[in-house]
Structure 1
Amino acid sequence: MAETGPCEPWPVYWTCEVDAYSPELTGYAVSAATRILWALSGRQFGQCEVTLRPCAEDCTDLNAVPLWGWTAGYSMPPWDFYRTPYCAGGCRTGCSCTHIPTVRLPDAVSRVVEVKLDGTPMATGGYRLDGRSLMRTDGGVWPRCNNLARDDDQPGTWSVTAVVGEEVPDSGRLAMGELACEIAKAMNGVDCRLPPGVTQLVRQGVTIQYPDMGQLLKDGRTGLYLVDLFLASENPDGLKQRARFGNVDRVLRGLR
């Protein structure tokens, strides 16, 4: 699955004075810093609002592979949700003695914005989000059919609009401020603290050593203190992306 990057710029705690720079320049700096930190931190931070179009499957059907439709202008989710199992129709679990109409949403859903049934928004008291399970609490059941050929404001459809992803921590916002500041300075032709391409400079008998930028980037670091502190704490092993899990038994059963 292709990854398209963060949905929107990360929030910034500026560590320098940026009033002298144009909004266009700081906008480019923030956009670039967002993409860089998102990638170096393992593509694990940043939130997106997406609209999911559930297709129900039986809880006992181990061969079915559930599908989700995505709308709301969001081209592709950053994680592999297409093989995430979920149930719609009421499952008995080890902690419940009753059948509760439940839909298991993709991982890292922080909140549900809206649920529509037949194009009409449900009252917020009619459902509850428990972890990644969306439970219906108004006495009704989730629809077993969803006409994906129609928009979610039409009869015969239903949708869940949710915010997915992990919020950027304060350390990430400070790292954004430091990196975006240095990028803005470089764009404006001002001396900045971004490591230069040279690794050693000799002037008047004095040797100045610079970090090897190529090696820094290979190690997932930038040479900036707040940025590297954030990366070392949130992605110490330099992972390229979030871990993904697959159910081998489920795949093998589907091939029989």
Structure 2
Amino acid sequence: MGLHDHEPCWPPPAPECCDAWDQASPELQARVGKVAALILHRLSGMQYGVCEVTVRPCGMDCNPGGGGPAFGPPFTPMINTAGGWINCWSGGCGCESACSCCHVCKTTLVGPVQEIVEVRVDGQVVPPSAYRVDNHRELVRVDGLCWPTCPDLSAPIDLPGGGAFGVTYTRGLPVDEAAGWAYATYACELIKACTNTSGCRLPKRIQSITREGVTMSFIDPLDYLDQGRTGLPEVDQWLMAVNPYGLRQRARVLSPDYSTPRRTTWP
């Protein structure tokens, strides 16, 4: 499970002072919690939720045909230390980047990486002292060895001598206090609507109502939905803080002319 999967890895909501939630069955609580998490996960740009995943990295130059990288960024022309023009890709020419003249053995994971659970090479567990994580996504080997560039993708990860390379880690942003509060508030209102409990604050489609000579007008909830909001002030304040432009996923900046500084983010 991860940032772009269908179900987010959110913990169960914990509404406070919500009688409708306390009176509902555990099955209904679980269902409403999943619905609330899925909606807020999408509206917040699919940033939150820490999921454990297992991946099998493959080196950029792992191409059975011998024609260069099987995938990855395009070639970049550059002059090597001997003064010759070469076609290079990140990590494939002996230098880490334009600002580093030493090669760093790394493999890039889909981040943000929160914690490395286990790394296996050739069926054996690699000790945590042998690697670190830079920039929340780059798994760097620090014991003088290097990660396999062409591992056997068909071999079981835990098969001794099988030639596999696997990484199990957690990724995503934790559901912090602000996210948890918005999540619990939204779940409470959803369960009120489901159980037809009075006091539900979810917007209705009523535009106006007249009673005893008093007319009240309401904002069309579609005005909120078009902007990626729910109509609940507490929830929408959080969405505005974490995703003010209504992005569908976490933003990234890619530039062939800029090398980001490296910093260790785990352990």
Secondary structure of 2:172 counterpart: strand
* Structure 1 vs Structure 2 CA RMSD: 3.0
What does residue 236 of structure 1 align with? 244
What does residue 111 of structure 2 align with? 107
Asked if the contact 1:16/1:181 (under 8 Å) is kept, the reply is no
Over 3 Å counting, the alpha-carbon distance change for 1:50 and 1:90 in structure 2 is farther
Over 3 Å counting, the alpha-carbon distance change for 1:62 and 1:164 in structure 2 is farther
Match for residue 167 of structure 1 among 152, 167, 174: 174
Q: Equivalents in 1 of 2:157, 2:93: separation in Å?
A: 20
AA aligned to 1:165 is G
What does residue 183 of structure 2 align with? 176
Aligned length: 230
Identity %: 39
Q: Equivalents in 1 of 2:180, 2:239: separation in Å?
A: 12
Secondary structure of 2:24 counterpart: coil
Over 3 Å counting, the alpha-carbon distance change for 1:143 and 1:91 in structure 2 is farther
Asked if the contact 2:50/2:171 (under 8 Å) is kept, the reply is yes
AA aligned to 1:163 is T
Q: Equivalents in 2 of 1:100, 1:243: separation in Å?
A: 26
Higher alpha-carbon deviation: 233-242 or 177-186:
233-242
Structure 1 length-normalised TM:
0.78
What does residue 4 of structure 1 align with? 5
Structure 2 length-normalised TM:
0.75
Match for residue 50 of structure 1 among 49, 53, 63: 53
* 1:193 and 2:222 correspond: no
What does residue 124 of structure 2 align with? 120
Q: Equivalents in 1 of 2:13, 2:116: separation in Å?
A: 25
Asked if the contact 2:54/2:166 (under 8 Å) is kept, the reply is yes
Cα displacement (A) at 1:205: 1.1
Asked if the contact 1:25/1:187 (under 8 Å) is kept, the reply is no
Q: Equivalents in 1 of 2:167, 2:229: separation in Å?
A: 38
Gaps of at least 5 residues in structure 2 are 74-88, 258-267
Gaps of at least 5 residues in structure 1 are 68-84, 250-256
Q: Equivalents in 1 of 2:107, 2:93: separation in Å?
A: 8
What does residue 23 of structure 1 align with? 26
Q: Equivalents in 2 of 1:113, 1:134: separation in Å?
A: 12
Alignment of 1:190-229 (within 5 A): 190-191=197-198, 192-229=200-237
